Amino acid sequence: MEETKPIAEIEKEIVEEFALFDSWDDKYEYIIDLGKKLAPLAQEHKLDENKIKGCQSTVWMVANYRDGRVFFEADSDAIIVKGLVSMLIRVLSGQTPDAIIETPLAFIQQIGMTSHLAQTRSNGLLSMVKQMKNYALAYKLKNDVNG
């Protein structure tokens, strides 16, 4: 099985990548590029029950649990949101439920995302984080009960 990098290490990589850009226009372009590289979600997962509530754009997210880790897939109809969710997937997918639940996701603040997103996008980002942590909590509880 492939070794998963610690969340802090992945966050540090993202912060360093964003530090390469001088302007927020360039950073937005980078986020858009990340969104374009995100694998599309299979059509059968684009269901109402997989939509994230609280996002202005449509965002679908599914999670799978295997080998003690949570793996996320997501898609959005808005390219910038797709870029944001791709960063969250990069950081959280393949981590243990505890690591996902406990991480403060400091990179969001460190790259200046919270101060440069419109309020609706910021709320949507928080909704995506909340959904990912909820999936992790559900898998943790299911494991604790069955474990």
Q: Which residues are catalytic?
A: 55
Residue 84 CB: number of other CB atoms within 10 A?
Answer: 28
Contact predicate 90/10, CB 8 Å: yes
How distant, in Å, are the alpha carbons of 38, 69, 99, 121, 141 from that of 30?
Answer: 13, 28, 27, 17, 36
Beta strands in 1-147 (DSSP E): 59-66, 69-76
